[in-house]
A = this chain, B = another copy of it.
Amino acid sequence: MQATVNDRTTELAAQFPILQREVHGKRLVYLDNAASSQKPTAVLDVMERYYRQSNANVHRGVHTLSEEATTLYEDARVRLAGFINAPSDKQIIFTRGTTEGINLVAHTWGRANLGPGDEVLITQMEHHSNIVPWQILRDQLGFTLRYIPITPLGELDLRELDVLLNARTKLLSFVHASNVLGTVNPVPQLVQAARQVGAKVLIDGAQSVPHMPIDVQELDADFFVFSSHKMCGPTGVGVLYGKRDLLEEMPPFMGGGDMIRSVTMTESRWNTLPYKFEAGTPAIAEVIGLGAAVDFLTDVGMGWIHAHEQMLTRYAYERLSQVEGLRILGPEPEKRGGLIAFTLGDIHPHDISAVLDMDGIAIRAGHHCAQPVHDCYNIAASARASFYLYNTTEDVDLLAESLEKAHKLFG
């Protein structure tokens, strides 16, 4: 069974030009997918073709190029809506990424709905992008920011949820799959609890959308955000999905071209969704590239990707547990997405990563933009291997061997 999965993986890997390259004379083993994924030829070709054949500004042009660009751009929106099962493509707003998505909600919905006496509830395992915007806004608007703590095993500690989530809570914002612990959080339970107190729900899908089938209607999130560059798409683009009535009543974020219906010297009227939130020339080629990434992922099959990563994670969890001095952060493989963060004795994660790099293995080292979760474990940083559809059990073996070497070197 592992053999067949690896076969398909090898075939897929061949579609990613960068995986053909060598690092320090070794085959590149790319295990930094949670930071950013690699891009298949299919995605690169679509963007190249756009620039070579149809490049023009969108929406406002009548000429052929502009019509082609507009069609390509809006078709990508329809594809994104289908990919996460949004009721309408008007609910797909293109951003620069997860970070801009959350900031957009903070600046618009947040500014219109939060004030002294209100509470926003996040968790201790959030990425900085789901902490800092709320801290900034809190300091301006005077609401209270609360955190759901985590257990020593790296799951949300929900024992006090009924205190933390209360009638004052206006928003519950949490990460779908943690980029440090791997933990996949219990969305139905959390959403249901939020509904009971009338709080809105924002889900950070940066680490879930690339790796598992997502249905925003089933998840029932009010807002859902993710980034293109982690899901085989280009940099510079991401998506904010929102429930229609919320998006309709929210004030705009940035002002400029395309987001207006009319502008006079005294006042402006806003355009309809999704344009109200897309001021200025958008990331046209990038949106089109993201559309191609969604096609690619759909062809591969999100179910298959999820199963493949589950298999790899179980395999890696076992293999890494055997490495002397290695301590895995977060829960058992069944409860996590395709990534494993760990420490190795006292060796600084940067040193681990540097040693692995000499063997062509790319992992991430640091706080992964999630200092509070590291604070929980009283560590400054960790090393993280994160998988994607093109990784194999052989990659995991190479990782483990190189880690053993690092342990000897610094031991």
Residues of A within 8 A of B (CB): 17-18, 21, 23-24, 28, 30, 32, 35-36, 38-39, 44, 48, 51-57, 60-66, 96-100, 102-103, 106-107, 124, 127-129, 131-136, 147, 227, 229, 234-237, 251-260, 262-265, 267-268, 279-286, 350, 353-354, 356-357, 361-366, 368-369, 371-372, 375
Contacts and interface: CB of A to CB of B under 8 A. Distances in A.
Given A57-B32, A103-B255, A365-B62, A281 B97 contact: yes
Contact of A99 (B55, B227, B280): B280
A99 B63 contact: no
Name A's interface SS: mixed
A135 B96 contact: no
Contact of A36 (B38, B132, B264, B281): B281
Contacts of A372: 263-265
Contacts of A64: 23-24, 357, 362
Nearest to A39: B51
A284 B235 contact: yes
A343 to B, nearest CB: 15
Given A102-B256, A132-B260, 16 more contacts: A17-B51, A18-B52, A39-B55, A62-B365, A63-B357, A63-B362, A96-B283, A98-B280, A99-B281, A129-B279, A131-B268, A132-B255, A135-B267, A229-B281, A235-B286, A256-B369
Contact of A65 (B51, B259, B286, B362): B362
B103 A256 contact: yes
A133 B252 CA distance: 10
B254 A100 contact: yes
Nearest to A131: B263
Contacts of A18: 51-55, 65
